[in-house]
Amino acid sequence: MQASLREYFDTLLDQVLARLPSHLHRLLDQAPLIVDDAPSAQLLAELGLEHPDELCGLYHGIPRTEQSVAIPIQPPEAIFLFRQGICRLSGCRVVGENSHELERQIRITLLHEIGHHFGLSEEELEDAGYG
């Protein structure tokens, strides 16, 4: 990914983050947001995906609805966003192209993964408009 498109994406992400409610910012203190160009080959293989731009985001951890003291060692939580997948989905290939749609897809992907943190299923997220 070109450095300028990466910077543009990150600027739009900062704008999306600035507009999130404060309770979601507190969540991101607990489940950090990690932004990368694309998922690793190992992650793609684990998920059964072939192309890096098939994946826009991922929640890694145990959803709040499944956490328990009976599970003493829990993996660290993290929310991943992948620039290539989000850019492909929005149709953005160069800086400034489809900027409104790119920002919208960043927001949808971020809220989708936050939803997984809170235990929402794919169907529930789809119904909420974050599918």
Give the integer Cα–Cα distance in Å for 75 and 54. 25
Asked if pLDDT for residue 107 goes beyond 90, the answer is yes
| Adjacency order of strands within the sheet including 78-82 | 33-36, 78-82, 57-60
Mean pLDDT of the chain: 86
pTM of the complete model: 0.84
More confident residue, 84 or 97: 84
According to CATH, what is the number of the domain 3-127?
Answer: 3.30.2010.20
Indicate the pLDDT class of residue 42, thresholds 50, 70 and 90: very high
Predicted confidence band at 73 (pLDDT cuts at 50, 70, 90)? low
At 21, the pLDDT band (50, 70, 90 cuts) reads: confident
pLDDT at 62: 66
- What is the arithmetic mean of pLDDT over 13-41? 89
